[in-house]
Structure formats: structure tokens, C-alpha cells
A and B are shown apart, each in its own frame.
Chain A
Amino acid sequence: AIRITQSPSSLSASTGDRVTITCRASQGISSYLAWYQQKPGKAPKLLIYAASTLQSGVPSRFSGSGSGTDFTLTISCLQSEDFATYYCQQYYSYPSFGGGTKVEIK
């Protein structure tokens, strides 16, 4: 089983900040990684797939990078609507998720 370690588990930031979240896979997964945003009481929403491809309709302040075992989600200029929990997911083998990163208001 491929394990995904996501960090940090939470962070505090202000509107306008640049935010970076990382995921590390226990083995190489090429670019088979997606990022999701989840708000309380809602289903996750796809932001990025194939490590760096922005899903249609997602603001360009979101970006993803990485391949192999190390991946990053960056929010270039945090907006009020971006305060949420973010999950990465590998789909190289049967899917597994990172533990999540809660982005809170500082």
C-alpha cells in the first residue's frame, strides 16, 4: 500500500499570503496525484490532477508541482474563500489520501 504523508496538518495564514502544502509518497507514483479542497459539510472539490494540471474553473492562484515522491500545492495569494481543508490523493495504485491540511485564518 502506498502511504501519503501530508504536511503540515494545519496552518494559520492571512488573506494575501502565499501558502504551500506538501505531500510525500512512500514510493514513486510518477505524476498520479490530485489535490482536493473540502469545506465543512461539503464533498471534496477537485483542484489539480496529474500533479500540476488545473481543473477547469479553478482559479489560477492554485498550482501544483512535483513528480515521483514529492509534491506541492501552492496558493499564491490566499483569498477568504480558500480557508478550507486540503487533501492530496495518489492514484498510481489503489487510491489513498493524505491526512489533510486545514488552512485557518490567522
Chain B
Amino acid sequence: QVQLQESGPGLVKPSETLSLTCTVSGGSISSYYWSWIRQPAGKGLEWIGRIYTSGSTNYNPSLKSRVTMSVDTSKNQFSLKLSSVTAADTAVYYCARGHSSRSHIDYWGQGTLVTVSS
């Protein structure tokens, strides 16, 4: 059974960079598309972007200028960096798995709350 686990600071100061890592267990990270999705409290889901195990990326155009994703296949991990954060970036951040560039998401992490506050 594939499991995804987000990790990283739960509190980030405004204007700084949010950094999260997702560790994949119970299966290989190879040959899948790995996404980050966020959800502000009481609101809907927003896709941030995805990375393939080759390192190729696609980002939500609304966040593209601030997002960087990377993958470390040796550690079965992938990561998210979101720069110049504001309070509007406060949300639960999920990592998730898709099978292709046109694929539903079949596995999700449990989510991690990141609060942007001084």
C-alpha cells in the first residue's frame, strides 16, 4: 500500500519561502507524476503543480512565478518550494500521486497545515 507523508515547518514568516517534502513509501517513486495541492481552511482545493520522476514540471500559472519543485528518486522524495509567501498561502498542503500527465489522483498524503504569520 502506497503511503505519502508531508513534512516541513508548520509556520513560515511572510515574504519567506515555504518548503515541504513528501516521502513516498510502500512503492517506487519512479514513473509517476507527483503533485502538490493545497486547501485553505474551509475552502476548496487548488492544484499547485506536479513533477515527473525525470524532473519535468508543470505549474499552475497563477503560482508559477513562485513555485519550484524537485524530486530525489534515491530517497523516494519530492519537494515543494513556494517563495514570497503571504497570509493567503496559509493552507493545508497535500502531496499526491498521478499515473500520467492526464490522470486522476489515486493516492494522497494526509496533509500538513502551513501557517504564514510573523
| Chain B associates with chain A | yes
Q: Do A44 and B108 touch across chains, with their CB atoms under 8 A apart?
A: yes
A96 nearest in chain B by CB position: B47
Q: CA–CA, A100 to B110, complex, Å?
A: 19
Q: A13-21, A66-74, A85-93: which one contacts chain B?
A: A85-93
| B window 63-118: CB within 8 A of A | 94, 98, 102-106, 108-111
Residue B27 CB within 8 A of the other chain: no
- Interchain CB contact (< 8 A) of B44 among A34, A92, A97: A97
Residue B23 CB within 8 A of the other chain: no
Q: Mark B45-57, 1 if CB is under 8 A from A, else 0.
A: 1110010000000
Q: A96-B47, A97-B44 are in contact. Are A46 and B106 (CB under 8 A)?
A: yes
Residue B17 CB within 8 A of the other chain: no
A4 nearest in chain B by CB position: B44
Residues of A within 8 A of B106 (CB): 46, 49, 55
B interface residues, how many (CB within 8 angstroms): 20
Closest Cβ of chain B: how far from A26's Cβ, in Å?
Answer: 15
Q: CA–CA, A84 to B44, complex, Å?
A: 13
Q: Do B94 and A43 touch across chains, with their CB atoms under 8 A apart?
A: yes
Residue B21 CB within 8 A of the other chain: no
Q: Do B45 and A43 touch across chains, with their CB atoms under 8 A apart?
A: no
Q: Do B104 and A87 touch across chains, with their CB atoms under 8 A apart?
A: no
Q: CA–CA, A55 to B44, complex, Å?
A: 22
Q: CA–CA, A43 to B49, complex, Å?
A: 17
Closest Cβ of chain A: how far from B105's Cβ, in Å?
Answer: 7
Residues of A within 8 A of B110 (CB): 42-43
Closest Cβ of chain B: how far from A46's Cβ, in Å?
Answer: 5
Using CB atoms and an 8 Å cutoff, list the residues of chain B in contact with chain A. 35, 44-47, 50, 58, 60-61, 94, 98, 102-106, 108-111
Using CB atoms and an 8 Å cutoff, list the residues of chain A in contact with chain B. 1, 32, 34, 36, 42-46, 49-50, 55, 87, 89, 91-92, 94-100
